[in-house]
Amino acid sequence: MDTMNKLAKKMIFGLLCLCCALGADGQTLTDGQIAVQNLAVSKQEDKLFVAMDLDISALKQGSNREVLFTPSLTLKDDSLSLPAIRIAGRNRYYHHLRNASDTERLYRNGERNLIEYRVTVPYEKWMGRARLSATETTCGCCDAPLTSTTTPLSKLRLEKRVPTPFVPAYAYIRPKAEQKINRIEGSAYIDFPVNRTEIHPDYRRNPEELKKILSTIDAVKNDADSKIISISIKGYASPEGSYSNNIRLAKGRTETLKEYVRKQYVFPQSLFTTGFEPEDWEGLERFVTSSQLKNREGILALIHSDLDPDAKDRKIKATYPADYAYLLSEVYPGLRHSDYAVQYEVRAYTDLAEIRSLLKSQPQKLSLNEMYLVAQEMEPGSDEYNATFATAVRIFPDDPVANLNAANTALRLGDLKGAETYLSKAGDAPEAIYARGIHAALLKHYDAAQPLLKQALQKGVAQAEDALQQIERIRQEMAEDAE
């Protein structure tokens, strides 16, 4: 029977070593007098197996001394003391025998060099990531502990750790309520008789070009929620001809167009502002820059020169006659245009159902504040909620608050690339600094995230404190896994 038990022990020990050899070979306890060898821990179904050999050949102790060796498992608030073994001097050994003490794990010092420690306990999930330690307590003749030392033996890795996710809160900003001033712009190409300033509404393409202006005005004028604040018109002439005459033409044609529009509606003069550009050299430059003209660079050099406008035009014509002929027939007509803009105010909306409807049909009529207000009635993170902030940044693409709130939505959806784009235009508000810290943390760039989050916390973003604590926990887990 003894032979069979020894064989079974060897088989179990071999199995343990195959399952999880966590070697602490050569680790010493009790000032180097006890050496831990062949440490192995494994799990099978609902049992945890712990095995180690204790080399006590170097242990020196008096007859009235003993060492209590107690392994334990600990993980945060969970702990379990494993069965202890007692290595006693002669007098202490017989004391325990006479007093019917637990002698199952009682050993007399000097009788053997190696103690085989084998324990099986019910397995709990926390044990898979626990620390295995050993506490050696030296006792005297009255069972009074004289010294006690706890030594870590190994960290168990029987359970794969599920990384703690970083789940931040998001700090949206409520936009300020403000007057809603919108603007619609366009360009019309009105044909005037040569060297004249009067308009003929039926001349060439004038019907459709005039309709463009009037349709823009009608779209605002016929909207009960909108009020026209101003209409601006700026006329341009092309560079051919004398500059002084082009001043007359650009100014006169702009005034004529303004009066034509005003009389269609009987608008007051005070509603209009006008301006003119005698010769549209900027428009010519844009065309030539993007063209494939043979002498493009030479023409651009003349455009950029300090020559007066009339001298520039003559020089281009004389130096590059073929290209000039092309510009005169194909490009100059497009430089004779009238840019117009209708500025208008949209009334404020307070009914959330109306705002919800406008979000789908006419979001350009809403302010950022109105979009934000209706989003507060939606489920955070829902499709409707996310779409609201996406619409806000589409209507107000350069607004820092719109970009910050859109960045928060992108972060919530895991779109880190999109969030980065929005954050580049989100400004430097404390919430924007916080969002950049969250972005870095979600990318696992914790060294970059922590200073940003600390700065945001100092500036009053309360959510930053929890984010920092989460990062600390994650970094602690990473350090533990690296050990």
What is the average per-residue pLDDT within 390-408?
A: 95
Q: How far apart are CA 421 and CA 433, in angstroms?
A: 14
- 123 & 49 share domain: yes
- 142 & 46 share domain: yes
What pTM was computed for the model? Answer: 0.65
- Long-range Cβ contact pairs of 159-167 (< 8 A, separation 24 or more): 159/125, 159/128, 159/129, 161/129, 161/477, 161/481, 163/474, 163/477, 164/470, 164/473, 164/474, 164/477, 166/441, 166/442, 166/467, 166/470, 166/471, 166/474, 167/470
Asked if residue 435 lies in contact with residue 412, where contact means CB atoms within 8 angstroms, the answer is no
Q: What is the CATH number of the domain that holds 45?
A: 2.60.40.10
- For residue 291, give the nearest of 281, 300, 303, 301 by alpha carbon: 300
- Per-residue tokens: 465: 């404190």
Does any domain span residue 100?
A: yes
Range of 131's domain? Answer: 2-155
- 63 & 147 share domain: yes
What is the average per-residue pLDDT within 251-275?
A: 93
Does any domain span residue 172?
A: no
Give the chain's mean pLDDT: 89
Does any domain span residue 461?
A: yes
* Paired sense of beta strands 226-236 and 272-277, if any: parallel
- 53 & 112 share domain: yes
Length of the chain: 483
pLDDT in tens, 131-159: 999 999 988 876 677 788 999 998 888 88
- 26 & 149 share domain: yes
Does any domain span residue 371?
A: no
What is the average per-residue pLDDT within 184-198?
A: 88
Q: What is the CATH number of the domain that holds 468?
A: 1.25.40.10
- 131 & 82 share domain: yes
User: What pLDDT shows up at residue 1?
Assistant: 42
Q: How far apart are CA 328 and CA 293, in angstroms?
A: 13
- Per-residue tokens: 68: 């209590």
What's the total number of domains in the chain? 3
Does any domain span residue 185?
A: no
User: What pLDDT shows up at residue 203?
Assistant: 86
- 394 & 287 share domain: no
pLDDT in tens, 405-458: 999 999 999 999 999 999 999 999 999 999 999 999 999 999 999 999 999 999
Burial class (CB in 10 A: 0-12, 13-18, 19+), 113: exposed
User: What pLDDT shows up at residue 483?
Assistant: 65
Does any domain span residue 279?
A: yes
